Amino acid sequence: MNKTEIRNIIETTLKSGDKTPGLFDLPKILSVKSKLESCDSIPEVIGVLGEHRSLISKSFGISEAIFDEGLKKLNALNTTA
């Protein structure tokens, strides 16, 4: 699992949103980040993102389509790994 490539996909997806997490969302987002960093496989990463989809989408202002596109890129990475 190439963590750098996964991080780049996630960061690119988050940067395409139109918001920055607020003060009250920040601890939750940092918790999700910690969970993502402890993942050992791409399916685990996808699971964590799916579990926290609502929080991530709301906090970063990401549309469902953009979020889904990021998940597709991660899935594609999983099939080539």
Domain map of the chain by residue range?
A: 3-80
Lowest-confidence region among 1-5, 11-15, 37-41, 60-64: 1-5
**pLDDT the model gives residue 42:** 92
d(CA 64, CA 21): 17
| pLDDT of residue 54 exceeding 60 | yes
- The answer, yes or no, to whether residue 69 has pLDDT greater than 90, is yes
Q: What integer pLDDT is reported at residue 21 of this predicted model?
A: 92
- Would you place residue 19 in the very low, low, confident or very high pLDDT band (cuts 50, 70, 90)? very high
* Structure tokens given for 60: 């970063």
Say what the pTM is. 0.88
Token pair 């690119």 is found at 12
CA neighbor of 72 nearest in space, from 16, 13, 4, 29: 13
